[in-house]
């Protein structure tokens, strides 16, 4: 009985395969596309890590604070004379 069920399933599967093959035609991919895809998959991608703009911002703020402190110090020295 089990072999009979397997046989029926095989017939159904083969019928489905025949229907699909008659409805769907194979597609030939573009060789240029395949070569590009092969190259992209085979190469190790270049990873660029962006530098944080935070460091530049901190340097600008630090330079501003230094310039402000220097200005206050120079003005204080000039007022004492």
> Using one digit for the tens of pLDDT, what is the confidence trace for 41-51?
898 777 878 77
How far apart (Å, rounded) are the C-alpha atoms in residues 71 and 68?
5
The model carries a pTM of 0.37
Give the tokens for residue 19: 């229907």
pLDDT in tens, 10-51: 666 778 888 888 888 888 989 999 999 999 889 877 787 877
pLDDT in tens, 46-78: 787 877 778 888 999 999 999 999 999 999 999
How far apart (Å, rounded) are the C-alpha atoms in residues 14 and 7?
10
């Amino acid at each position: 009985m089990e072999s009979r069920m397997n046989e029926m399933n095989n017939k159904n599967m083969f019928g489905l395969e025949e229907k699909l093959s008659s409805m769907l035609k194979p597609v030939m991919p573009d060789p240029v596309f395949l070569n590009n895809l092969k190259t992209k998959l085979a190469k190790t991608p270049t990873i660029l890590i962006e530098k944080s703009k935070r460091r530049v911002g901190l340097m600008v703020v630090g330079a501003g604070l230094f310039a402000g402190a220097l200005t206050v110090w120079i003005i204080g020295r000039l007022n004492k004379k």
